Structure 1
Amino acid sequence: MDVNKLQTWLWPSITGIAIIGSFILIYTANKKLREETVRDNILISKVLLQLIYASISLAIGIYCLNHAMKLGFEQNLTAYIAIIGGIPTIYLWIIRERKKEQDLKNKDIELNNKKIELNQIKIAELNKIYVDAINQFYSKEQFLAGAYALSGLIEDWMQLETFSSSDFINNTTKIEQISSIIFSKFQSKKHNILFSRLVSRIVQKLIYFSLKRNNWDERMEIPWQQYNLSGIDLSNMNLSNYTFSKVRFNNAKFENSILKNVGFVDSNITNANFKNTRLENAEFRNTSAQNMDFRNSNLSGAKILKSNFSASNFYSSHLENITINNSSLNDTNLNGCNLKNATINNSSIQKSELNRVVLCYANILHSNLYNSKFNHAKMSEIVIDQTIMGAAVLIGANLKGAIMTNTSLNTANFENTNLENTNLNNSVINFVKFSNANLTNASIKDSDTFKTTLFLKSLKLIEVNLIQLKDMYILNNNNTRLIINRKIEKRLKQEKQLSSNNDTFKLTELDIHILENSQ
């Protein structure tokens, strides 16, 4: 056989067989690792031996390829040794790293099991302490010691780690159980100052714990409806961002507390004290809150929805951007409050004091403000629509640019009030007093003005019609009533080119001068 011909097909064949064989060995080694669940030393040794064979085959293949194709690679023994040892070395490195990871996992599992074991021991200890604390709590001589022991247990249960959702449920159940026991004695023992303070701190802890848990997957809902905590003192606390649902906190104290973004839903807080409290963006929904003390508090952006705040005191409070919907604030003291940009809708604020309030740019819609006092109030640019303001007193108030349409103002008192550019169209303003009021550029189009009292000099540029002028009780400078007789009526019709008594027109200074000298 010709040697040249033999080399022509021998070297490529050996090359192909060696390289293909090496890949087959690597593939089967990888498959074996994937299929075997238990990776013991025997398996690792078998795979390692297989990879060594694969490396030798790959080295032979490369050598033959270089010889057959005359690639010109340097025939260096070191290079082939590196090829032979490279794959097994990489494999051993990977095995070592995986072993490290597995060891770490085993340590974590062992540590976690140890924690669970210690937790169980701790729970057993807490249950034993619980029995002793209960016996003390129901003993007259050791009542206070038992209360403090139970309070400590609540903290211990809060600090216990939870390893599953069932652990969390068990812990919170214990917390609620111990809290209920302590709270059950509050009404009969609240005269005890130390016990009362202890209960206040427990409530604070429960709220903090609940807020903390709300950031986790689990959530703790405190069943406040089961507890009667009337008269509790939560003054000087920060309870922001918490929602009190169905609480019975009547006669409670929140003085000087921070309650930003809190909610009171379906709750009873009648006679509670919120003096000097920060309640920005708070929400009161379906809440009974009569006779409340909110003096000097900040309720900016708050919402009062379907709630009863009658007979409450908001003196000098910040109520900017407040929303009051479907609520009652009758007989309420709002003197000196700032209600700028407030929205009051479908609510009742009858017989209330709103002297010197700031109501600029506020919206009062579909509400009842009957017999309320707005003396010297700042109400410029306010919008009042479809509202009852009968018998309201607005002496010295500033309603410049206000819109008071479709509103009942019967027997209201606007003495010395600034009503410049005010819109009183489509309103009922019978028997109203506008003595010394400024009605420059005001409009009372389509409004009832029967026996409404005002001074002739205040009618400058007011928009009226002849029927309204006849109905009104207009006083001259000498306090005698101006009678719109046929002569004046005819002259005004000619002057203003009116076709009927219903046509509206603006009274100029010349018209007022004519009326003054027509008597």
Structure 2
Amino acid sequence: MSESSTKPIGKNYKGQDLSGHRLFGAELNDADLSGANLSKARMSGAELNRANMSGANLHSTHLNRAVMKNANLENADLTGAKMMEVNLSEANLTNANLSNVSGVESNLTMANLAGAILSSADFSNSNLSKVNLVGADLQGAIFSNTNLTGADLSGINLKGVNLSGANLSMANLSGAILGGANITKANFAQTDLSNADLRDVNIYATNIVEANLSGATMPDGTKRG
């Protein structure tokens, strides 16, 4: 479908082709966009609260400053999407593909990103407090100066992930692999690092006050009791 300046009317766009459409500031709260093709659409500032976008194609879509609270984006393809300052608090992004997403200064508080792909995604200076990242692919992701307080990253491989200046206080990193991650000036106060692999990282250069290190493999290869 060719690029259009017409904003859709109504709420049901299930499976429709809206690729390249100009939907700046469109009011699509509670809309059904499941399986829709929204690739390269311009949706900056759109309101998509509680919208069903499961399985939608949002490849290279412009979503800067969009409000998508409680939206369902399960299995959606957001590869290369522009998502600066987007609000995805409490959104369902289970198994979504967010590779190469630009999501600087975004709000994903309490979002579910279990099994999601965030390879090379940039969520620096964002709020990801209490997010679920269990089973997510974070290879090359950037979370510098990001709030990850209370986040669940248990069992995650953080090799190559940039966590410099990130706040991971009270987060769950039990069983996580931190070797090769950039954790310069990160905050791990009261973080669960039990059974985590801390080899090849300078955990002592971070704040680990009251962190749980039981069973963790320390930088020198020794194991905590």
What is the CA deviation profile of residues 485-506 of structure 1, one whole-angstrom value per residue up to 9, with x for unaligned ones?
xxxxxxxxxxxxxxxxxxxxxx
Structure 1 residue aligned with 2:129: 390
1:512 pairs with 2:221: yes
Structure 2 residue aligned with 1:175: none
**8 Å contact 1:389–1:409 — kept in the other structure?**
yes
1:339 pairs with 2:78: yes
- Equivalent of 2:95, from 327, 336, 356? 356
1:425 pairs with 2:200: no
- Equivalent of 2:57, from 304, 309, 318? 318
TM superposition score normalised by structure 1: 0.41
User: Cα distance, 1:471 vs. partner?
Assistant: 4.1
TM superposition score normalised by structure 2: 0.92
1:365 pairs with 2:104: yes
Structure 2 residue aligned with 1:411: 150
Percentage of identical aligned residues: 21
List, as ranges, runs of 4+ consecutive aligned residues in structure 1 with deviation greater than 6 Å.
none
User: Cα distance, 1:372 vs. partner?
Assistant: 0.3
In 2, the alpha carbon distance for the partners of 1:283 and 1:463 equals: 47
What is the CA deviation profile of residues 437-460 of structure 1, one whole-angstrom value per residue up to 9, with x for unaligned ones?
222211221122111112344212
Structure 2 residue aligned with 1:27: none
Specify whether residues 365 and 467 from structure 1 end up closer, same or farther in structure 2 by C-alpha distance, changes over 3 A only: closer
Structure 2 residue aligned with 1:289: 28
* Count of residue correspondences: 225
**8 Å contact 1:277–1:296 — kept in the other structure?**
yes
Structure with the largest fraction of helix: 1
Structure 2 residue aligned with 1:261: 3
In 2, the alpha carbon distance for the partners of 1:362 and 1:415 equals: 23
| Structure showing greater Rg | 1
**8 Å contact 2:83–2:103 — kept in the other structure?**
yes
Specify whether residues 471 and 441 from structure 1 end up closer, same or farther in structure 2 by C-alpha distance, changes over 3 A only: farther
In 2, the alpha carbon distance for the partners of 1:447 and 1:457 equals: 16
In 1, the alpha carbon distance for the partners of 2:179 and 2:78 equals: 26
**8 Å contact 2:162–2:182 — kept in the other structure?**
yes
User: Cα distance, 1:512 vs. partner?
Assistant: 2.7
In 1, the alpha carbon distance for the partners of 2:122 and 2:205 equals: 27
1:307 pairs with 2:46: yes
What is the CA deviation profile of residues 122-143 of structure 1, one whole-angstrom value per residue up to 9, with x for unaligned ones?
xxxxxxxxxxxxxxxxxxxxxx
In 2, the alpha carbon distance for the partners of 1:512 and 1:264 equals: 61
Structure with the largest fraction of strand: 1
Structure 2 residue aligned with 1:440: 179
Q: Secondary structure in 1 aligned to 2:103?
A: strand
Unaligned runs of 5+ in 1: 1-239, 241-259, 483-506
Q: Secondary structure in 2 aligned to 1:364?
A: coil
Matches within 5 A, 1:98-177: none
**8 Å contact 2:187–2:206 — kept in the other structure?**
no
Q: Secondary structure in 2 aligned to 1:468?
A: coil
CA RMSD of superposed structures (Å): 2.0
In 2, the alpha carbon distance for the partners of 1:291 and 1:379 equals: 26
Counterpart of 2:135, as a letter, is G
Specify whether residues 359 and 337 from structure 1 end up closer, same or farther in structure 2 by C-alpha distance, changes over 3 A only: same
Counterpart of 2:90, as a letter, is K
In 2, the alpha carbon distance for the partners of 1:289 and 1:345 equals: 19
User: Cα distance, 1:278 vs. partner?
Assistant: 1.1
Unaligned runs of 5+ in 2: none
1:450 pairs with 2:189: yes
Structure 2 residue aligned with 1:153: none
Matches within 5 A, 1:88-103: none
In 1, the alpha carbon distance for the partners of 2:24 and 2:206 equals: 47
User: Cα distance, 1:467 vs. partner?
Assistant: 5.0
In 2, the alpha carbon distance for the partners of 1:351 and 1:330 equals: 6
In 1, the alpha carbon distance for the partners of 2:97 and 2:198 equals: 26
Q: Secondary structure in 1 aligned to 2:197?
A: helix
Counterpart of 1:263, as a letter, is S
User: Cα distance, 1:295 vs. partner?
Assistant: 0.8
Structure 2 residue aligned with 1:152: none
